[in-house]
Structures are given as C-alpha cells and as structure tokens.
Chains A and B, each alone.
Chain A
Amino acid sequence: MHGESGKQSLRGALKEDVPGFNFDNYARNASLPTETTMHLPSAMKTGTTIAGVTFKDGVVLGADTRATGGTEVADKNCEKIHYLAPNIYCCGAGTAADTEKTTEIISSQLDLLRLSTGSPSRVVTACTMLKRMLFRYQGHVSAALVLGGVDSSGAHLYQIYPHGSTDKNPYVTMGSGSLAAMSVFETGFKEDMTEAEAIELVKEAILAGIYNDLGSGSNVDLTIIRKNGEVTVLRGYLTPNDVEPLRTSYKRPAALSVPAGATAVLSTHMDPARPGLEGLVIEDATAMTF
C-alpha cells in the first residue's frame, strides 16, 4: 500500500472526507475471538440487586454497590441510585454506562421542563421520557430501571425494562438479584407500612441479593423520598462486607514501609535541568509510604 494510489489505501481514505461510519474494522473484530485467543473486553455491567417499595408516606429505593466486568468485580462501591429530579430518583441495572447516561439525559430534560413550566416534575413524566428513549433504541440501550418518586398526585414506583415496557407496582425489583429480593418482598410486604418498616424490608431485600446472587455484593444504599417533600439519601447505609478491619489488622513486614531518615544522607548535589532552577528547594520531603 505505497504512495500514490491514495484512493485505495487507508491513508487515502482517512484524508478524504468520506461520509458515514467506517466499518473497516467490523470484519476484523468479528474474527478476533474465532481466529485468535484474544477476546474482546465485555461491557461493564452492574449485575445488580435494585428494589423499591411504597409505604404510607412515600417510597424507599435500595441498591447494592457491586459493578462487574465479566466475572471480575470492577467497582466495589459504585452508586446505582441516580438523581433525576429533587423528588424523583432512579435505580439502574444493566450496562453501567447506559444506566448512568440515560438517567443523566432524562434528568436534564426534566430540568429544562421544570424551568419551562414552572412546576415540579411528575414521576410519570420521567417514566414516559425514559420509555420513549429506550424503545427508540430497541433494547440496545441495556438499562433496566426502578424509578421512584413523589409528586402532587402521590408516591409512585415504576419498573422500566430495556426494550421500553413499564410496570407500575407497589413493590418492584430488577437486576440479577431481583428474584432473591422479590422473595423477601413477597413474604414481607404489607400495605401502609411505616418508614422504619419499609427501610427494614428494602434493606433485607438488598441483603438477600448481596448474599445469594454472585452479581451483587458489597454495601446497601438507600434513598427515601417522602410525601412531605423531604428526601434522604443514605449512601452506604449498611456496609457488611467492609474489608478495612481485616486489611488494617494484617501486620505487614517492616521492610515495606521505610520511615523518613532511615538512610543517612552523606552529601547533596543539585544539578538544575534548566537555567533558572538553581535556587529550587524542596520544602516538604515527606517519606513515601506504600
């Protein structure tokens, strides 16, 4: 692929302003897993337990905090309860990027709508915006959401599937741990619960997902949205899998953390890299610890 016949070569194609997408690498990517031992990295998924329950004075949303990339835990403490509006929050399961960006997009659309109408957002508005977007992408945006909030017509809880269908129910669960969480709801749900009962139920549901589903783990996050307008975000409400005590109790060999001054300084010579750095003095020479 030398030189002059620029139209045929890759260099030539890049120089030209060819409209549309370049699918040159598509065939190469498709053959990589079959022809070689390489495998393409998998999208980071949240492999999740998310749940929501309505109680007498509002809704409680809960989520675990494990994000997986294939079989590895990519993030031990990610945040799955996303802000949509002051009175509306949304938990997301599925591909982490999809849930994060979808909720951000709808959050900004709700913001603009609030500025334009002058009134607070309704949960059904958020639901309709989300389902319209997800349906447009025909399920390729892999976002399974639990949407909860309180507005002028009461407390509402929706579950939204990646293809764009929705369900409205008093208690909902989504994600890989949804069956474990739903089993807790089916045995424990009562109508008109108090806030403390609702928090306890959601906490138990998320814990069931954390301990019985391999795609969920680490901590329990909660968000409580009340009919009187108050919202409480409890990030890290319960951290039963904290390894910090274990990590600090382990006695590492002293040779790994050398204190400052352990090695005697015999002489110091400074060779400035550029003119003008002669007077440079390093003030804070704290020892590096590992």
Chain B
Amino acid sequence: MPRKWTGLNLASTSLFFVTLSACLLQVVFTSNMFGVTVKNSGMTGTGTTAGPTKRTHSPMVTGTSVLGVKYNGGVMLAADTLASYGSLARFKDVTRLNAVGDYTILGAGGEFSDFQAIQEILEKMDQEDKNADDGFSHSPAELFNYLRAIFYSKRNKFNPLWNEVLVGGFKDGKAFLGHLDMIGTAFSDEVMATGFGSYLALPIMRKRWHANMTEGEARALLEDCMRVLFYRWGLREGGREGGRQGEGGSDCRALNRIQIAKADASGVLVSQAFTLSTVWDLASFANPKAGMDTDGSW
C-alpha cells in the first residue's frame, strides 16, 4: 500500500525545509542592505544551533500613531513627540515626522531606530538627486514605492523594518498620501492613520473629510484627533489581541505634545512641537458618584 502524505507529515517536512532555509539565509545575509554589518559571534556553520539574534523579533523603543489628511492644496501629517520604552514614556521630545527632498513628508510609528534607518535611506536618495544637479527631485509617490520595495524585501528575509509609515507630499499640483506597514502592505487614500489612530481617529477623519478642506480645517481636524488619542489611548497590557505584537507602536501611550508636518505648493515644513489643550474638569466627571457611596461606580 503506497504511503500517503498525511497532513502532519507534510507539515513537518515543510517546517524542516523552512527552518533549514532560514538558517541558511541568516548565515548569508549578515550585512544588511544599508552597509551596516551585524556583528557575528563566530557561528558560521549552516543549519547548526542558534547563534546570536540576527533579525528583529520585537520593537524596543516605539512611537505610536501618525495621522494624515489630504486637503485642498496639500497634505498634512500629525504625530506626537513620544518614544516609549515598553511601558515607560522614555523620550518625550523626539521628532517622528520628517521632510525629505522638496516635496515629501513622512511620519512613522513603531520601532524608532528603524525609522531613523528609513530617514537615512531617503536622505541618501535625496542627496543623489542633488548631486546629479539636473533639477529633478523624486516625487512622493516614487519615494513611497521605493520604501514599499524595501519593506517587502526585508520582510521576505524575516528581518522587517518594524514600522507603520505614512508618506505624504505635494508635487506638480498633485497631493499624495500613502500608508506602508512592516510587511509591505501599501495603500493610498485621502485620510490615513497608523497604529491605534486607525480605530480612534479614522472614524472622525472619514466623517469630517470633504474634497475642499482648507488648511485650517485640516489642522483643526488633526488636532482634535490627536486630543482624542491622548484622552483614550492609555497603556495596553500584554500583547495585542489577535494581531501582530507591537505593530505600529501599539504598546505605548500617547502624549499631548504634538508636531504637524505640511507639504504644499510652497514646499515642505515640519512645525515645532506644541502642547494640545485638554479639558479635565467636566462637572459630570467630577462628581459621578452623586454623593452616594454605593452607587455602583468605583
């Protein structure tokens, strides 16, 4: 009787091949594509016991949501200035928004060092443009596609850039806003958000967006959304239920100190950080117990 490939046999065989190829890949690609070499501790055998970790497992210093909106004549991004270390609000004055070249702005949540690596890559590309000195500068859509290719290829090597990125820009009268995540999913839309902003901010942004938004309306919308994120995005315990761990900085809190980046016909700009006003003295919150001790609230 011929032996059949039962489910378990097939699965374990595939697993073996995947593990073998993963080990092989790790040995071959020890220097990543940015020219920064990863230190080897001397383990160079193929398919042998585990050596030092050579790929990203989980993010360490993370940023949270970035929000983006296209308005009439430009694109605006907003992000807070917090980089968390797990549950610690470690760096409270970082810039998670960046302007690249003459036309593009980008903001990222997730692992902050990977965001710095992205900035270096795009800076290099912009410098090549300048060195060519032919008046051409890459458009936001082109930078977006370039980043997408990088994200996807790194993900295929099981060593992702652990970020959720918004790329925005304005060139030749056309606004662009795109969203990239760590596995290389790329979309473009009128309003976008990363991380927890997609649950708390995107509903409001979708409702209030319209085709002829002015810059003032866009800014007010983004500030309102950042305020809601500050009110309602506290610390998350444990991992994200049912999703990828630490995706886009879901393991940290939000801050009410924010920055705005803008790209329009006159160029790109990242604003100074400023603090949002918040309201904490609503009468109904101040006295929910209505003077009773046993009314079912804490």
Contacts and interface: CB of A to CB of B under 8 A. Distances in A.
Contact of B296 (A131, A208, A209): A131
Given A168-B295, A179-B199, A179-B200, A154 B206 contact: no
A241 interface: no
Interface of A: 54, 124, 127-128, 131, 153-154, 156, 158, 165-170, 179-180, 182-184, 186-187, 191, 204, 208-209, 211-212
A13 B225 CA distance: 63
A168 B202 contact: no
The 7 closest A-B pairs by CB, nearest first: A168-B297, A170-B284, A180-B203, A127-B296, A208-B203, A179-B199, A212-B203
Given A167-B298, A168-B296, A211 B206 contact: yes
Contacts of A212: 202-203, 206
A204 B294 CA distance: 33
Among A184, A204, A212, find the residue whose CB has the most chain B CB atoms closer than 10 A: A212
A89 to B, nearest CB: 16
Interface size class of B (residues with CB under 8 A): 20 to 34
A137 B282 CA distance: 35
Contacts of A156: 295
B232 interface: yes
Contacts of A170: 282, 284-285, 288
Contacts of B207: 184, 204, 208
Given A131-B296, A166-B296, A168-B288, A186 B232 contact: yes
A212 B295 CA distance: 34
B289 interface: yes
A158 B206 contact: no
A24 B199 CA distance: 44
A118 to B, nearest CB: 21
B28 interface: no
Task: Say what secondary structure dominates the interface of chain B.
Answer: helix
B282 A191 contact: yes
Contacts of A169: 284-285, 288
Interface string B158-198: 00000000000000000000000000000000000000000
Nearest to A180: B203
Among A168, A169, A204, find the residue whose CB has the most chain B CB atoms closer than 10 A: A168
A156 B295 CA distance: 10
A138 B32 CA distance: 50
Contact of A191 (B201, B206, B284, B298): B284
Contacts of B199: 179-180
B283 A191 contact: yes
Contact of A183 (B232, B285, B292, B295): B232
A250 B6 CA distance: 48
Given A153-B290, A168-B288, A184 B295 contact: no
A168 B225 CA distance: 24
Contacts of B231: 186
A186 B296 contact: no
B215 interface: no
Contacts of A158: 296-297
Contacts of B224: 187
A60 to B, nearest CB: 14
Contacts of B296: 124, 127-128, 131, 158, 166, 168
B213 interface: no
Contacts of B225: 183
Nearest to A189: B282
Given A124-B296, A212-B202, A187 B283 contact: no
B289 A183 contact: no
B204 interface: yes
Contacts of B232: 179, 182-183, 186
Contacts of B284: 54, 169-170, 191
Contacts of B204: 183-184, 187, 208
B228 interface: yes
Contacts of B200: 179-180, 182-183
Interface string B203-228: 11011000000000000000011011
B285 A211 contact: no
